[in-house]
């Protein structure tokens, strides 16, 4: 399966939470449209969304569950029950937060459940240390997913330095996080990624509309001045 993803696009079909497009049937339509447009695989959040997308396409799906927990800052697939539900719903790859932050289930346990379920495991990393540890544990894919998202202002640019470090580390590398233009996605490949995940620029209409709206307003204000 990894060879089918090499040098290809993964479309993250995750609408804005509780937005008007945050419905399983719309996520499934997004997934179909993304595959029709050339995406080799999909990243889908939530069990109902995953089931709907699985019915709509046979493209490989990376499944995640996001939770806001009181006792842990880990949001991406924190529980064993989440892993089990994703496997049952049809995920081909299960992604989990691979940081060292306090978590309700050990990373080793989550990995074992994924492997026991016959699925590939993806480590969503924030740093080269995360990636190094996940690779040693046996994760099949290493993603730069969480770089810039562990606190403080989120950078505007992707983390190309982390990609280069991950490439030197080895393994199957997924560029993810703020690759919101074709040019940036191409730059990710040149920096050493095996494939690139794009989300907001493809499936979060509110975000993309905001980018255009802000640019037009700034240009208009400048012209008026």
Q: Which pLDDT score is estimated for 225?
A: 72
Can you tell me the mean pLDDT for 90-104?
A: 98
Q: What CATH number corresponds to the domain at position 21?
A: 3.20.20.70
pLDDT of 220 over the 90 cut: yes
Which residue range forms the structural domain that includes residue 114?
A: 2-224
Give me the DSSP letters along the chain.
Answer: -HHHHTT-EEEE--PPTTSTT-SHHHHHHHHHHHHHTT-SEEEEESHHHHHHHHHH--S-EEEE-B---SS----BS-SHHHHHHHHHHT-SEEEEE-SSS--SS-HHHHHHHHHHTT-EEEEE-SSHHHHHHHHHHT-SEEE-TTTT-SSSPPPSS--HHHHHHHHHH-SEEEEESS--SHHHHHHHHHTT-SEEEE-HHHH-HHHHHHHHHHHHHHHHHHHH-
- For residue range 165-182, list pLDDT tens digits in order: 999 999 999 999 999 999
Q: How many domains does the chain have?
A: 1
Q: Which pLDDT score is estimated for 152?
A: 92
Provide the whole-model pTM.
0.96
């Amino acid at each position: 399966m990894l060879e089918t993803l090499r040098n290809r696009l993964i479309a993250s079909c995750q609408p804005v939470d509780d937005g008007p497009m945050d419905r399983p049937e719309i996520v499934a339509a997004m997934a179909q449209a993304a595959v029709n447009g050339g995406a080799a695989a999909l990243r889908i959040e939530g069990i109902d969304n995953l089931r709907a997308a699985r019915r709509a396409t046979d493209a490989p799906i990376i499944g995640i569950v996001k939770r806001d927990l009181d006792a842990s800052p880990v949001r991406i697939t924190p529980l064993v029950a989440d892993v089990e539900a994703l496997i049952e719903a049809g995920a081909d790859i299960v992604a989990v937060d691979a940081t060292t932050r306090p978590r309700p289930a050990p990373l080793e346990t989550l990995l074992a459940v994924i492997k026991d379920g016959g699925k590939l495991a993806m480590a969503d990393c924030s740093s080269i240390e995360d990636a190094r540890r996940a690779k040693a544990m046996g994760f099949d894919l290493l993603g730069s997913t969480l770089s810039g998202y562990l606190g403080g202002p989120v950078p505007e640019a992707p983390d190309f330095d982390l990609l280069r470090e991950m490439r030197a580390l080895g393994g199957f590398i997924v560029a993810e996080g703020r690759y919101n233009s074709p040019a940036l996605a191409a730059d990710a490949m040149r920096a050493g990624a095996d494939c690139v995940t794009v989300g907001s620029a493809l499936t979060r209409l509110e975000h993309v509309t905001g980018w255009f709206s802000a640019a037009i307003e700034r240009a208009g204000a400048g012209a008026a001045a």
